[in-house]
Every structure is written in C-alpha cells, then in structure tokens.
Amino acid sequence: MRGGPGQLLAGRYRLTDRPELLRAFAVDERTGESVLLRAVELPVLLTANQDPEAEATGQGDRLVRRVAAVGSAAPSWHPRLLRGVGAFVEGELLWTVEERPAGQTLAELLAAGPVPPYRAAELAADVAGALRALHEAGLSHGNLTAESVLVCEDGAAMLGGLLAGVAQEALAEDLGGPGGRRRYEVRATLVGPVAERWPLDGGPAGDCWALGVLVQRMVTGRAPYPEGGVPELVTAVRDGRREPSVACGPLAPLAERLLQPDPALRPTAEGVRGELAVLLAGAPEPVDGERVARAVELKPEAPLVPLRRRRVRAGRPGPRVEPGARTPRIPPALLGPLLVGGVFLLLVLGMTAVVLFAG
C-alpha cells in the first residue's frame, strides 16, 4: 500500500504515519480514537462470462459482512479485549479496524528477550480472561499470536486481532473451499509458519492450545514447534513433536496440559484463568535491590530509646567518642558519687547486723 500521513481511507480513517505492509495506524475522524488497520489482499476471481470487477466487489462485500457479523457479536465491554470497529474494502484490499490504545505488541516486547515466568503468567491471565469472554459469547478467536496481544502502558495485556483473523479465514474458505489442499495453500500464504495459528482443532479448544504455545514462547523466547516453514510446522504439530515444557518453570504443568493433542484434556479459558490466579497469589515478591540496600544503609545503630544528650556550651567540645566505641550506660561524672554512696550503704548495713546479733 502506498500513502502516508494525512491520507484518508473509507472517508473516515486518516493515517498518522507511513503505513507498513498491510498495516497502518490512523485516527477515526468520527470518534477521535486511535485505531489499527490491518488488510488482506482480495484476488480477483475470473470465471467465464463474469465481470471481474463485479466479482471482486461481490467478494469484498461478502467478507465485510462476515467480519461485521463477528464484530457485532463480540463482547466489546470486556476490559481485556480490544474492540473491533469494522471493516471496509478499498481497491483490492479488505481492511479491518480495531481500537489501538498506547502500548506495544507482545511480539515487540519479546524481541528484547523472554519474560520471567510470573510476568508471563500475568499476561496469560489477561489473555485467558479475554478468551473466556469470547467463548461465553459463542465465538472463538483463531488468531491468538504475539502480534495480536497488546501490552498497554499500565502493564496489562489486551487481546486484539479478532476481525483480522476472521477476514483471513473467510478469504481462505472463499478461495479454497471449506477444506482440502487448496484452502491449506491459501491459508499458508495468509498466515505463514506461526505455530499458534495451526492447532489440530478449531474453536475454544484450539484457542487454548494456542495460548499454551504462546505461554512457552513468552518464557523460552521461541515456539515449542519448528517454524522454518508451514509444512514442517504442520507435520510437527500433527506428530506431537515439540520441545518439552519443563523450561517454563512454574508454568510448565499448565503449558503441558494446554498442548495436549486431545482437546478434552486441555483446560478451558476459565480454568486457565483460575489456575493462573492461584499461581500468582503464591508468587514470590520481587526483590527491589535498591530498596533493600537503602534499608540496610539507614538501619539505626543507636538504642531503640535514645538517651538524652547534654547540651555542650560553645567553645567547649564534648568528650570525644572513638568510632565504633559503645556509648557508656552510666555517665562518667556520676561514677564517683555512686561509689561513695555504695560504700556508705554497706557500712550502715554492717552496723545494723552487729546490733541485731549482739542484742
């Protein structure tokens, strides 16, 4: 796509930067919201005695209606689910639109390296909550990847990419039919070798399997299946050939169950959310090294109840205390009187004893 900042799409979405390949950021001029535009190409279907332009228009209209139906059924109220705004056709591209708050994708975050297991658990819990809302609405996501998860500025994760996934799956079915080799080839071109997009089964169980892949990707920095190409990836998923989940630390048991080939053995999104809540409740507190060092440095060395200090007259320095020496409990000025008083008390007690025994 060619264009740049200021270009208006669909008479509504004004680009805010130079678009990337099939992706652009814009502002919705009706609402003032920031949005993300994703596109899929619409190949012109040529058939005998049919107008190519009319066919392309009809194909785009069908896809827009399918995307709009899913968008209207999705629970837009959920705080961890990015709201899909709609879809439109411009030229030979089908664009999907969703809200885009400030943040970075999980893919961008993972480009700097894996995340600690408990941080991955926090992100996965947010995603599981969004999936649960979709599943309760009778929908599945089908496009759960590191690119479709947005990590907001407050650290929370939001799940997007729903409408873009619907558009890709609908186009693959439109071009390749409901199944078979042709659909696989079209889908491989649209999706690519992304492990989360190739579960053995679809629906909510397929979403949970994709979440298991994503959990292991977050903690280890790579998918548990080879992603060198779609045939290699699909074969490995089918054969159950993957890296073990033991590297996920405290998340290993959950990741192992999510990646079970049998969908009946996988936990649901609600079950995942509950397990992660228990795990996070027992998570160790992060150690703030600076805070600990400061606390040690400021730890008082004086007695808990401080002694009153005598005022020192100007020009008369007080007694010098050597570093590390302990402060005496009895001031030196009182030692003499106390000693004399003690001797006198002993004499009185001795005389009293003599009188008692003599009487």
The β-bridge partners of 13 are 9, 28
pLDDT band at 312 (very low <50, low <70, confident <90, very high): very low
Q: What is the CATH architecture assignment of 8-281?
A: Orthogonal Bundle (1.10)
pLDDT of 20 reads 81
- DSSP letter assigned to residue 216: H
Asked if the model's pLDDT at residue 336 lies above 90, the reply is: no
178, 210 Cβ separation under 8 angstroms: no
pLDDT at residue 59 in the model = 76
Residue 94 has pLDDT above 50, yes or no: yes
Q: Tell me the residue type at 327.
A: T
Residue 158 one-letter amino acid: M
Q: Tell me, what's the pLDDT at 5? A: 84
Span 96-114, pLDDT tens digits? 999 999 999 999 999 999 9
Mean pLDDT to the nearest integer, 203-212: 98
Residue 53 has what pLDDT?
57
Could you tell me the two tokens for 302? 């004086």
| Position 290 pLDDT exceeds 50 | no
Is the pLDDT reported for residue 344 higher than 90? no
Q: Distance (Å, rounded) from C-alpha 102 to C-alpha 346?
A: 84
Question: Could you give the CA distance from residue 344 to residue 222 in angstroms, rounded to a whole number?
Answer: 87
Q: Could you tell me if 9 and 95 are in contact, meaning their C-beta atoms sit under 8 angstroms apart?
A: yes
pTM of the entire predicted model: 0.77
Cβ neighbors of 116 (< 8 A, separation 6 or more) are: 219
